[in-house]
Amino acid sequence: MIRRLLNLVPPGTIAVGAGLGLLGLASYVHLAVAGHSLDKADYSSLSVLWSIVFTLGIGVFMPVEQEVARIVAARHSQGLPPGPVLARGAALAAGVLALMVLVVVAGYRVLTDRFFAGDGDMVLVLIGALAAMAVAYTTRGVLSGLQLFPWYGGQLGVDGGLRIVMVALLGLAGVTSPLWYGLVLVIAPLAGVLLTLPPVLRAIGGGAPVAWGLLLRGLGLLTISSLLSQVVVNVGVINVRLLDPSDVETAGALLSALVLVRIPLFVFASLQASLLPGLATSATNGDQAAFHSLLRKALGVVTALGLLGALGAVLLGPWLVGMLFDAPDVLGHGDFAWLAVATLAYLWAMVLGQALLALNRHRAQAAAWTVGVAALAVATLAPLSVALRVELGYTVGSVVVAATMALLLRGATRPTPTAPPTREAATTGVSGGVR
């Protein structure tokens, strides 16, 4: 029976899922220990750092991983070496990182004063965390493309395991500086890369250079969608500090609340690994019935997940964030209801976005996220309390994205024939943005 169940999931799902599970647990432990160790102002600074790192890092570098994995997998099936792809991917990630560092350095004073209560060292941690993510996502692309999923899951697991150990030691030592809790986001992923470096090093060199066009062809739209999706799910904490820099309690409490209500997104990550290949295969075969059947089933699953998570969040959320994260008592059951509705709509958007990708409609997916972010910005300007404004923004943005994608899919009366992604690359793109 177990062997039959394992045959139903794409290769690598178990290894990557195990690593992702440990990484997800590490996120909860990280924030829980920090919440109990830091004062409200310092926890607020860590919350903003966390949100910026995962918004920009995942939004920009995950597409690099996905494209590197796609091209490496295609070349691997033809017996071609991965070295040239790694070289181009690393150069691209380094260029993007350099651009982001320039922007961060240029805005050093604003970031320090507005987001980190005058602590300039937190800006340096931000740069270090972005650099660590650039390295991690690029190497994961190679590991995934070569079907080295135990190594891929191992990198995630080392990252997560080391985070747990480091924050536990910080908590036991009574460390009360947000700087050290931020440095965990630099040290742990780099350690994961170092301990899974052997197969990446073996990939260096060999073969003629890969044309830039091969890597950049679909990267633009993919990056737009990835970055904007992270903005929708993570920008609320940042907006609290933009709207009211003195409101340190709401920023920290909101991150703690978001970590709880977005638990269903971790479960969806496992579903996502097999959803896109299944939809793409149906589209390739022109099997409209199978395509819509799979889409309806996926929507049903995430709806059940979202409703179950919403029930627990609304009933227990205010108590849980206080107990687990020592969060300030500033969010009530109504706040958790808004966040739960937003997360359910975000889950719908993630499923519908996979359907658009399966139909080769990358432009439509990017357009939907663009409309959603615009709606989020407008809703955030409503004359309400700071907490309700950011909650309303997350909800409206997610609902608008999902609705826009549904309308765009209605125009696709028949699946468009397109080449499905390989099963070997189906588990790439594991997101850490929902932690």
Q: Nearest 10 degrees: CA dihedral of 14, 20, 25, 27?
A: 180
- Using CB atoms within 10 A of its CB, is residue 425 exposed (0-12), middle (13-18) or buried (19+)? buried
Q: What ranges in 78-120 are assigned the alpha helix state H?
A: 83-106, 108-115
Per-residue pLDDT of the chain (435 residues; tens, 9 = 90+): 445 534 544 555 677 778 888 888 899 899 999 999 999 889 999 999 999 999 999 999 989 988 888 888 888 878 888 889 999 999 999 999 999 999 999 999 999 998 898 999 999 999 999 999 999 999 998 998 888 888 999 999 999 999 999 999 999 999 999 999 999 999 999 999 999 999 999 888 777 888 888 788 778 888 899 899 999 988 888 888 888 888 888 888 888 888 888 888 877 766 665 676 678 778 877 888 888 888 888 899 899 989 999 999 999 989 988 888 888 888 999 999 999 999 999 999 999 998 888 887 888 999 999 999 999 999 999 888 989 999 999 999 999 999 999 999 986 645 444 444 444 333 444 444 444
Tell me phi and psi for residue 118, to 5 degrees.
85, 0
Place of tokens 């004063």: 113
In the chain the first and final C-alpha atoms are separated, in Å, by 33
Q: How far apart are CA 386 and CA 143, in angstroms?
A: 43
pLDDT of amino acid 294: 87
| Residues 351, 275 contacting (CB under 8 angstroms) | yes
What is the Cβ-side half-sphere exposure of residue 275, based on CA atoms within 13 angstroms? Answer: 25
Give the C-alpha separation, 180 to 110, whole Å. Answer: 22
Instruction: Return d(Cα 322, Cα 330) in angstroms, integer.
Output: 10
Residue 160: CA atoms inside 13 Å, Cβ hemisphere, count? 22
| Rounded Cα gap, residues 38 and 49, in angstroms | 14
Q: What is the pLDDT of residue 11?
A: 54
CA atoms of 182 and 30, how far apart (whole Å): 10
How far is Cα 401 from Cα 346, in angstroms, rounded to an integer? Answer: 8
288-297 contacts: CB < 8 A, separation 24 or more? Answer: 288/413, 288/414, 288/415, 291/355, 291/358, 291/415, 295/351, 295/352, 295/355
How far is residue 37's CA from residue 167's CA, in Å, rounded to a whole number?
Answer: 10
Query: In 125-154, which positions are buried (b, 16+ CB within 10 angstroms) versus exposed (e)?
Result: bbbbbbbbbbbbbbbbbbbbbbbbbbbbbb
Cβ atoms of residues 139 and 202 within 8 Å: no
pLDDT at 273: 56
Give, in degrees to the nearest 5, the angle at Cα 256 between 271 and 174.
Answer: 120
